[in-house]
Chains A and B, each alone.
Chain A
Amino acid sequence: MVGDGKISEIAAARDGGVDAQEADGTAVDGKAADGSAADTAERARVLAVCRSNWEYRGIDDASMREMLAELSAHLDEAAAAGRSARDVVGADVKAFAASWARARAPLHQRVLRMAALVPFVLGSVLLIMHLLDRTLALSVEPSRLASYAVIVAGTVILEIRRGALGFRGWLLMGLVGAAIALLTAWLAGDDTLFRLPLWGTLLLMVPGLPYAYADTRARKIRAAAA
């Protein structure tokens, strides 16, 4: 990163009309622009990693948005004072996010939320499969089970480490899931393990409904207030 002093020095030299220094000025401006772009990318990465960690650690939606707004405002002011996102959160973003999450909500509260929301998300995915397959009883084969497990585990690990997966990440997870499905089918066969009825899928979603409703309501209230 190029300091403000250096940039103003170069700017002063450029004002003096020296050609060589003009060239240097352009180069430094380019470096400053690169530095600024890197800072912006680092800021976005820090916020994404914190968001993922808080989501997976069971912080409710309203609290998470409040924490992100607070951190984002701090990062902006620190950047204006010439300090990086790393100066604010330290070298280990995950540890910072985890520490804030632990302080924000007690473990039992977060575990309850996750215990309700994980089946809710799983139920939502299965409901989509019911709709796609147009069936009231979904066949669950080893290959389907293995690919879902790998995709879920991979997504959680990557998002906790890097923040949002992005298009490439999703593509990669899809490919890995497909490869695991093929491998499992080849190794363990493709016989149906059990058939999941629609009511079973809906039952999975029930414990998470109050949390999903509260999150949606908080989001609407926040949007209306904004």
Chain B
Amino acid sequence: MTKQLAAAHDQRRSQLLRGVLDLCLLALIGERPRYGYEFVEALTESGLDLVSEGSIYPLLARMERAGLVDSYRAPSAAGGAPRKYYRLTDAGAAELAAGRATWSTFTTAVSKTLREEQGEQVGRDERDGRDEDE
């Protein structure tokens, strides 16, 4: 049962991340140009583990096609072969700003809803307690 709950929790986290992964990638590129593996490192550092790391590439390709990011090749700081770096375009910056606003409104609404539910639960617990006392 605990395992099932943990799996359901992981699945929910994964689904939530999938919905905002493009926004997270845009935000990370907004900080500075990055290459593929750096996104995974930055997400992991923030506590956002991807089920499959490679899922960032189709998203990056889609955003590049949409003109939200563009790319260039440059040697990486770690050495080795040149990497493909992604940087934000003006359209990408505008999309990021709009996405941040949407996320902020959405999370506020979700937090409010979840708090209300929590409040209801507290209320139910209190009622149950009174019933037991009587």
Contact = CB atoms under 8 A, between A and B. Distances in A.
A112 B114 CA distance: 50
A104 B61 contact: yes
Contacts of A78: 37, 40, 53
B18 interface: no
Interface stretch (A10-18, A64-72, A123-131, A213-221): A64-72
A73 to B, nearest CB: 6
A103 B62 contact: yes
Contact of A89 (B52, B81, B84): B52
A69 B61 CA distance: 14
Which of A66, A77, A90, A99 has most B Cβ within 10 Å?
A77
Question: Interface of chain B, helix or strand or loop or mixed?
Answer: helix
Nearest to A63: B61
Interface string A60-89: 000000110111011011100001000111
A96 B52 contact: yes
B61 A87 contact: no
A139 B40 CA distance: 57
Contacts of B37: 73-74, 77-78
B36 A90 contact: no
A102 B58 contact: yes
Interface in B44-92: 51-55, 57-59, 61-62, 65, 80-81, 83-84
Given A73-B81, A74-B36, A103 B53 contact: no
A103 B61 CA distance: 6
Given A90-B54, A96-B52, A73 B36 contact: yes
6 residue pairs, one from A and one from B, having the closest CB atoms: A90-B52, A103-B58, A103-B61, A77-B37, A103-B62, A89-B54
